[in-house]
Amino acid sequence: MNQSVTSLADAARQGEIQAFEQLVRQYMKKAYFFTLGLVGNREDALDISQNAFVKAYRGIKSLGSGEKFPSWFFSILRNETVNFIKKAKRKKLEALDHRESFLLFTDQSVPDAERAAVCRTVQQAIRSLPLDMQEILIMQHFQGLGYSEIADLLGIPRGSVASRLYRARAALKKKLNGVI
């Protein structure tokens, strides 16, 4: 556990806004990319992640102890993201159909058209999986987070990270039959 996060969160609970600012700066990229991977749109990812921080600020006094901040905040972020996805599906908003690609293919030796096609295929395959599988794939494959960090953020045991990843990869491979 990052000690500075615990002490920052404890200070934020006492009303120190500068401490909360440091927490935002530490977690803003993780929050943004987590949400981007799930909603596929940059503006929405910014909106949702920032709203999650605002909710965290308003509710931080209810946080039992500073060391629970990462999983507590991520549960707020996850709820905000899930609520957004549900609302968007109800309204059939095109935001979820992400015209722009939020995944980029980094291997420049592959032709442009092929790179874009592969990214779109992988995005659609991931998007068709249950949310808990999408989360774990985004966090491990695209955010490059380690098992301990993922466990910390999701509030689950380290072993559960491995088992969820196993199921998610198996499901993704099935969807990508023909590409892999």
Partner 1 sequence: MENDRLKELLTAYADGELDEEGRREVEKRLAESENLRRELESMKKVKSLTSHMQLAQPEEEVWNMYWNQVYNRIERGIGWILLSVGAIILLSFGAFHFVQDFLLDPEPSLIMKIGVSTATLGVIILLVSVLRERLFIRKTERYKEIVR
Distance CA 46, CA 170 (A): 31
> How many residues of this chain bind partner 1 (CB under 8 A)?
53
Contact 87, 48 (CB under 8 A): no
Is residue 28 a contact point for partner 1 (CB under 8 A)? yes
Which residues have a Cβ under 8 Å from the Cβ of 101 and sit 6 or more positions away? 116, 119, 120, 123
Chosen residue from 6, 7, 10, 46 binding partner 1 by CB under 8 A:
46
Least separation in angstroms between residue 3's CB and partner 1 is 22
Q: 126 and 138 in contact (C-beta within 8 Å)? A: yes
For the range 109-115, what are the long-range contacts, defined as Cβ-Cβ under 8 Å and sequence gap of 24 or more?
none
Question: Which of these segments, 6-14, 60-68, 73-81, 136-144, binds partner 1 (CB under 8 A)?
Answer: 136-144
Q: Is 107 in the site for partner 1 (CB under 8 A)?
A: yes
Euclidean distance between CA atoms 175 and 180, whole angstroms: 10
In whole angstroms, the minimum distance from the beta carbon of 61 to partner 1 comes to 14
Alpha-carbon distance of 31 to 49, in angstroms, equals 6
Query: What's the gap between Cα 90 and its chain centre?
Result: 22
* 122, two tokens: 């992988």
- Rounded to a whole number of angstroms, the CA Rg of the chain reads 17
Site mask for partner 1 (CB under 8 A), range 87-106, x = bound: ----x-xxx----xxxxxxx
Q: Is 172 in the site for partner 1 (CB under 8 A)?
A: yes
| C-beta closer to partner 1: residue 130 or 166 | 166
Subset of residues 6 to 25 that bind partner 1, contact rule: CB under 8 A: 21, 24-25
The interface region with partner 1, picked from 8-16, 75-83, 127-135, 158-166 by CB under 8 A, is 158-166
Give residues in contact with partner 1 (CB under 8 A).
21, 24-25, 28-29, 32-33, 36-37, 42-43, 46, 50-51, 53-54, 57-58, 91, 93-95, 100-107, 110, 118-119, 122, 137-138, 140-143, 146-147, 159, 162-163, 165-166, 169, 172-173, 176, 179-180
